[in-house]
């Protein structure tokens, strides 16, 4: 069920909210997309889950629990309330878990960050985006449908296009090749820094810092 009234409230009253009001009303939610289970653990499609694990470690947020068909971890980063989320509904149904948690924690769309794989970007690159369509990513499409808005922040992680005539659905469910797997720690370091930049300065400033052609620190 889409809660339009909740988002309308935040849009109309955003400028009137103090910092303490914003913290009390939910803080920031960072969602990584993937599929649950060991069979999918190292798949390209699960790079969002992997990023959440790295962010949790770097932020010192480790208290896992299950709520609304998702693994969540709550903590603070620089006095900001942070909720880390890994939906356990499988990729195509991610929106039901995310929408339920957004309503429960009263998260403003501007404070929602979704991390996901993207076939249209070069492997192991990232792009930040403040909204827009799903671009064929079914987990993002499910979130848009369930929230009733496209206006939430994205961290898009490039996995490249499948070779030859390989089906995209088969490609995303393959593990990263060994050479790319070696580069993943650098990728996740950059993603963590990008998320920190969004939290500190907002999406527009973070985009200026991290949307260059060669944006992975090695």
Q: Rounded to 5 degrees, what are φ and ψ at 97?
A: -70, -45
> Residue 175 and residue 9: Cα distance in Å, rounded?
42
Residue 18 lies in a domain: no
Gap between the Cα atoms of 157 and 188, Å rounded: 10
Two tokens at 20?
Answer: 């303490």
Sign of the dihedral defined by the CA atoms of residues 95, 112, 212, 190, in that order: negative
Report the C-alpha gap between 217 and 204 in whole angstroms. 20
Query: How are strands ordered across the β-sheet holding 64-67?
Result: 64-67, 70-77, 80-87, 28-32, 112-118, 153-158, 126-129
Residue 11, pLDDT > 80, answer no
Domain that holds residue 178: 24-210
Known catalytic residues are 45
Cα atoms in the 13 Å half-sphere on the side-chain side of 136 = 10
Q: How high is the pLDDT of residue 98?
A: 98
* Residue of 96, 86, 85 whose CA lies nearest to 142: 96
Question: What integer best gives the mean pLDDT of the chain?
Answer: 90
Residue 51 CA to residue 34 CA, distance in Å, equals 10
Mean pLDDT of 105-111: 94
Q: Per the domain annotation, does 17 fall within a domain?
A: no
- As given in the structure block, the two tokens for residue 96 are 């039901």
The residue ranking higher by pLDDT, 33 or 19, is 33
pLDDT value at position 24? 46
Residue with tokens 């909740």: 6
| Number of domain units in the chain | 1
Q: How far is CA 172 from the centre of its chain?
A: 17
pLDDT tens digits, residue range 40-83? 999 999 999 999 999 999 999 999 999 999 999 999 999 999 99
Q: What is the pLDDT of residues 112-125, one digit of tens each?
A: 999 999 999 999 99
Please check whether residue 44 lies inside any domain of the structure: yes
CA pseudo-torsion sign 11, 16, 21, 23: positive
The domain that contains 37 carries what CATH number?
A: 3.40.50.1470
Is 12 a domain residue? no
Residue at 10 is within a domain: no
Q: Considering the domain boundaries, does residue 201 fall inside one?
A: yes
Q: Is the pTM of this model over 0.85?
A: yes
**Residue 26 scores a pLDDT above 90:** no
> What is the structure's pLDDT at 49?
98
Q: Is residue 145 left, alpha or beta, with left meaning phi > 0 and alpha meaning psi from -120 to 50?
A: alpha
CA quadruple 89, 95, 99, 102: dihedral positive or negative?
positive
Confidence of residue 20 (pLDDT cuts 50, 70, 90): very low
* Residue 216 predicted with pLDDT over 90: no
Residue with the bigger pLDDT between 16 and 51: it is: 51
Of the pLDDT bands very low, low, confident and very high (cuts 50, 70, 90), residue 212 is confident
Query: Mean pLDDT over residues 101-109, rounded?
Result: 95
pLDDT in tens, 131-187: 999 999 999 999 999 999 999 999 999 999 999 999 999 999 999 999 999 999 999
Task: Give a yes or no: residue 164 inside a domain.
Answer: yes
């Amino acid at each position: 069920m889409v809660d339009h009234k909740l988002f309308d409230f935040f849009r109309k009253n955003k400028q009137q909210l103090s910092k303490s009001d914003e913290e009390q009303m939910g803080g920031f939610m960072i969602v990584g997309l993937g599929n649950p289970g060991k069979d999918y653990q190292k798949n390209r499609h699960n790079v969002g889950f992997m990023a959440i694990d790295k962010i949790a470690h770097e932020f010192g947020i480790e208290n896992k629990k299950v709520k609304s068909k998702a693994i969540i971890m709550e903590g603070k980063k620089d006095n900001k309330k942070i909720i880390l989320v890994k939906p356990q509904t499988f990729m195509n149904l991610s929106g039901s878990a995310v929408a339920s948690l957004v309503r429960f924690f009263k998260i403003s769309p501007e404070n929602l960050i979704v991390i996901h794989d993207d076939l249209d970007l070069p492997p192991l690159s990232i792009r930040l985006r403040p909204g827009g369509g799903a671009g064929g990513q079914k987990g993002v499409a499910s979130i848009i449908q369930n929230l009733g808005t496209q206006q939430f922040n994205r961290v898009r992680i490039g996995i490249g296009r499948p070779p030859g005539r390989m089906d995209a659905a088969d490609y995303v469910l393959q593990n990263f090749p060994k050479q790319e797997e070696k580069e993943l720690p650098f990728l996740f370091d950059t993603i963590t820094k990008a998320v920190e930049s969004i939290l500190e300065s907002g999406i527009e400033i973070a985009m200026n810092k991290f949307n260059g052609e060669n944006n992975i620190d090695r």
